[in-house]
């Protein structure tokens, strides 16, 4: 069965390769396909508390938290409740040894055996650990072992070389952490010398230790120290450590471990650092304590305990989750998809009917087209057809042949109707004759780019012969409008719209001179797409005319980098039109220009590690498109699509990753884990942002990237057949927006 499945996967990969390499000389692409393997998806929530949490411990499925006034346990309702008999003193540390919970307060050391609390020793003790078959306890000045219900001084452990603040067992030796150095106890006596013979830790301010295999890690206020034998090295921001001021260390769930810092928590997995900070993950960013137990990690701060649970997922399961999220949270409206905005007055979520609903929705529709082509899923096909119907309707509703609306509003529906246009211009809502609808005008090139992108994907991958006729009609109408109006979109007032201009006069003007590369690329792509879909000689004549005017000569440098010109939305627009253009263009001279344009644009974009750009580049060139980082990006998106505030200005790892140059801005890309879900118009290098938890992001771009990668063979299907790893159960309705309450969308494909 496994052999048969691998053969099927190989065939599907070759199909994607054949499609991606059409028109080129390469027999096979140089990108490496990535199996959609099972990975651990983080799911977080926060348990608020009224006072700082100083210590955490978990035993037999129960979480214990230490506060300034004693120990509490977490109950089934997510509340920290008092425990009969537990200490009511200031808790400094808790440890689990065997089946016992040890609690160290400022006054004493306590043991809980699951039934009874006992006070084992009076005075201040700082740590407890299992060593050489004994339970060893440290005070600031000495070492003891537990004998029955009391403490006995270890032979040779009476007078330490310095004030002890923590213990670790490394190389079968007890390592004692002082405030400025490490020393050892071998079972008979202390070593009074610092154990570091070579190198140095990042700082003399030592705060915690943790033994992990061949290494002893040391948390300092200026980075992470690593002891191997007697040699000390440093892990700093330049090595990828997200924040250098460490507070605590804790073992992880498997071979990982955790670092608490003054600005977030870091999970160390091999040579990777997974950073958790900000209100998405933590109640506040100063971490006091961490404990990992079962499938989750608890992080204690001054105002809450964060819970990060690890759940087995595949990307296919994640795609199913996001698809169902659109419905469960009310992000779908007719066939369109929307982000949500928090309504303060109504105290609930509402849909934003935006400046470019049709354009944003094409990512979702394309995802369903790619899914259908990759899997044959008929539900996906129905969604793709509904999407094309909505896109076709967006043109027919305007009463201007070939002029598509930006968005459509049902008169009286519940939602936030966009009150502004792009670039700071006012919104132009136009009522329909029947009074049911309003459509948004002043349509831009953004909208036409998206329309031609989806028309090409739907035509090639989904449409039957009857539907192909509908696509030809739609594309022909739009292309005729642009050509017949002098290479512009002409609105109700008879004037060109602000941004949808591809005419020579615009390119020669001060306002439009900067747009010659991108807008020239757009119109050449529209024409080539229209020729492919309709076969109309008029469009070939139009293409010949613009080539004769030298439109292609500006395309290579379409990506602008000068001051004031950097605009990430334009990157998305360029890749929208690269996709059909390089699939359909056959002229070697023009392909050479377009490929150099794409190569330059992708090299500048590559540092972002945004999968939709990577997969388009790989599909059109067959070149290495960094499928590994692209898949990693998809996996690191949180399931929670609320746009929480995030701030990476505190990070120590802001230098570019190896192999990348920051051509445009910033220094490096940041994981979606650190900044949250994004649209492909956003920069992954931004230092701070978010919407204060008052926006729910539309995941359509993620879905478009995943299913495009699957279709082209860059992501191979999951090897598992377990339904629990491929789908999620239906998400409960809410807490999103109320269902759409306007009239139904007409079926223009049957009219």
Query: Given this model, what pLDDT does residue 13 score?
Result: 42
Over the chain (751 residues), the average pLDDT of each successive run of 10 is 40 43 59 97 96 97 97 96 96 96 97 95 96 95 93 92 95 95 91 90 97 97 97 97 98 96 97 97 98 97 98 98 97 97 94 96 98 98 98 97 98 95 88 97 97 98 98 98 98 96 97 95 98 98 98 96 82 98 98 98 95 98 97 98 95 91 85 95 92 96 98 98 96 87 94 63
Residue 455 falls inside a structural domain: yes
Are the CB atoms for 440 and 427 separated by under 8 Å? yes
Query: What does the block give as tokens for 537?
Result: 């000689």
Residue 680 falls inside a structural domain: yes
Q: At 42, which helix (H) or strand (E)?
A: strand 39-48
What is the secondary structure of 235-276 as a DSSP string? E-GGGT-S---EEEEEE-SSS-EEEEETTEEEEEETTEEEEE
Domain that holds residue 556: 2-39+332-647+658-716
Residue 236 falls inside a structural domain: no
Burial class (CB in 10 A: 0-12, 13-18, 19+), 284: middle
Residue 294 falls inside a structural domain: no
- Distance in angstroms (rounded) separating the CA atoms of residues 132 and 187: 8
Residue 725 falls inside a structural domain: no
Query: What does the block give as tokens for 187?
Result: 């079972």
Are the CB atoms for 91 and 103 separated by under 8 Å? yes
Tens of pLDDT, residues 276-289: 999 999 999 999 99
Query: Given this model, what pLDDT does residue 751 score?
Result: 63
Query: What does the block give as tokens for 234?
Result: 């440093």
**Main-chain dihedrals φ then ψ at residue 379, nearest 5 degrees:** -65, -40
Are the CB atoms for 538 and 577 separated by under 8 Å? no
Assign residue 590 the CATH number of its domain: 1.50.10
- Distance in angstroms (rounded) separating the CA atoms of residues 569 and 343: 27
Tally of domains in the chain: 1
Are the CB atoms for 450 and 457 separated by under 8 Å? no
Residue 155 falls inside a structural domain: no
Torsion of CA 602, 606, 611, 615, to 10 degrees: 40
- Distance in angstroms (rounded) separating the CA atoms of residues 463 and 304: 53
The pTM assigned to this predicted structure is: 0.94
Query: Given this model, what pLDDT does residue 447 score?
Result: 96
Are the CB atoms for 308 and 42 separated by under 8 Å? yes
Residue 708 falls inside a structural domain: yes
Give 556's Cβ-side CA count (13 Å radius): 8
Q: Where are the alpha helices (DSSP H) in 535-638?
A: 537-548, 568-584, 588-605, 611-621, 627-636
Strand partners for 225: 218, 234
Give 703's Cβ-side CA count (13 Å radius): 30
**Main-chain dihedrals φ then ψ at residue 153, nearest 5 degrees:** -65, 130
Residue 521 falls inside a structural domain: yes
């Amino acid at each position: 069965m496994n052999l048969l499945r691998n053969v099927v996967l190989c065939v599907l990969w070759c199909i994607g390769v054949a499609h991606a390499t059409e028109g080129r000389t390469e027999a096979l692409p140089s990108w490496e396909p990535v199996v959609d393997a099972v990975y651990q998806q983080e799911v977080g929530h926060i348990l608020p508390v009224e006072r700082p949490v100083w210590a955490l411990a978990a035993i037999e499925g129960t979480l214990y938290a230490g506060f300034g006034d004693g120990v509490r346990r977490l109950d089934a309702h997510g509340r920290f409740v008092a425990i009969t008999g537990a200490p009511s003193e200031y808790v400094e540390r808790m440890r689990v040894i065997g089946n016992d919970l040890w609690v160290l307060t400022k006054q004493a050391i306590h043991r809980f055996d699951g039934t009874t609390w006992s006070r084992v020793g009076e005075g201040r003790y700082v740590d407890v650990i299992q060593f050489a078959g004994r339970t060893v306890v440290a005070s600031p000045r000495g070492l003891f072992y537990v004998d029955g219900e009391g403490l006995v001084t270890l032979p040779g452990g009476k007078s330490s070389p310095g004030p002890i603040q923590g213990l670790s067992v490394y190389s079968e030796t007890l390592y004692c952490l002082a405030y400025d150095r490490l020393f050892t106890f071998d079972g008979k006596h202390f070593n009074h010398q610092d154990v570091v013979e070579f190198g140095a830790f990042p700082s003399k301010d030592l705060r915690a230790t943790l033994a992990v295999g061949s290494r002893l890690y040391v948390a300092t206020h200026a980075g992470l120290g690593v002891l191997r034998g007697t040699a000390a090295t440093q892990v700093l921001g330049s090595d990828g450590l997200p924040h250098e001021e460490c507070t605590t260390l804790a073992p992880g769930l498997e071979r990982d471990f955790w670092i608490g810092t003054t600005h977030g928590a870091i999970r160390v997995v091999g040579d990777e650092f997974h950073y958790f900070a900000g209100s998405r993950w933590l109640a506040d960013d100063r971490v006091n304590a961490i404990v990992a137990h079962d499938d989750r990690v608890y992080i204690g701060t001054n105002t809450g305990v964060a819970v990060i649970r690890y759940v087995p997922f595949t990307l296919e399961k994640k795609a199913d989750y996001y698809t169902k999220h659109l419905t469960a949270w009310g992000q779908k409206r007719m066939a369109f998809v929307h982000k949500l905005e928090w309504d303060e007055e109504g105290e609930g979520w509402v849909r934003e009917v935006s400046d470019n609903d049709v354009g944003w929705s094409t990512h979702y529709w394309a995802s369903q087209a790619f899914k259908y082509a990759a899997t044959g899923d008929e539900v996906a096909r129905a969604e793709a057809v509904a999407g094309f119907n909505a896109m076709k309707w967006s043109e027919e509703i305007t009463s201007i042949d070939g002029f598509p609306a930006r968005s459509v509003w049902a008169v009286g529906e519940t939602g936030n109707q966009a009150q502004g246009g792009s670039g700071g211009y006012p919104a132009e809502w136009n009522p329909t004759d029947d009074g049911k609808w309003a459509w948004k005008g002043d349509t831009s090139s953004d909208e036409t780019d998206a329309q031609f992108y989806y028309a090409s994907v739907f035509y090639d991958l989904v449409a039957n012969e009857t539907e192909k006729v509908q696509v030809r009609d739609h594309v022909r109408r739009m292309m005729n409008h642009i050509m017949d109006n002098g290479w512009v979109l002409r609105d109700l007032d008879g004037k060109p719209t602000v941004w949808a201009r591809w005419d020579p006069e615009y390119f020669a003007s001060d306002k439009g001179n900067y747009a010659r590369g991108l807008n020239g690329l757009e119109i050449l792509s529209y024409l080539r797409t229209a020729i492919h879909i309709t076969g109309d000689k008029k469009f070939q004549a139009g293409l010949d005319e613009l080539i004769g005017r030298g439109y292609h000569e500006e395309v290579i440098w379409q990506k602008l980098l000068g001051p004031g010109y950097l605009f990430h939305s334009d990157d998305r627009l360029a890749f929208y039109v690269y996709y059909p253009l390089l699939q359909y263009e056959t002229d070697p001279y023009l392909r050479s220009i377009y490929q150099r344009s794409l190569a330059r644009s992708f090299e500048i974009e590559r540092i972002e590690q945004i999968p939709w750009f990577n997969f388009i580049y790989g599909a059109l060139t067959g070149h290495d498109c960094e499928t590994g980082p692209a898949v990693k990006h998809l996996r690191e998106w949180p399931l929670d699509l609320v746009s929480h505030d995030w701030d990476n200005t505190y990070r120590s790892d802001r230098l570019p990753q190896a192999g990348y140059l920051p051509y445009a801005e910033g220094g490096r890309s940041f994981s979606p884990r650190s900044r949250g879900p994004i649209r492909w118009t956003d920069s992954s290098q931004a230092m701070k942002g978010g919407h204060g938890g008052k926006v729910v992001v539309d995941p359509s771009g993620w879905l478009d990237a995943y299913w495009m990668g699957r279709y082209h063979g860059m992501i191979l299907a999951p090897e598992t057949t377990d339904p629990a790893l491929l789908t999620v159960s239906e998400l409960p309705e809410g807490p999103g927006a109320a269902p759409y309450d306007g009239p139904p969308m007409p079926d223009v494909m049957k009219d």
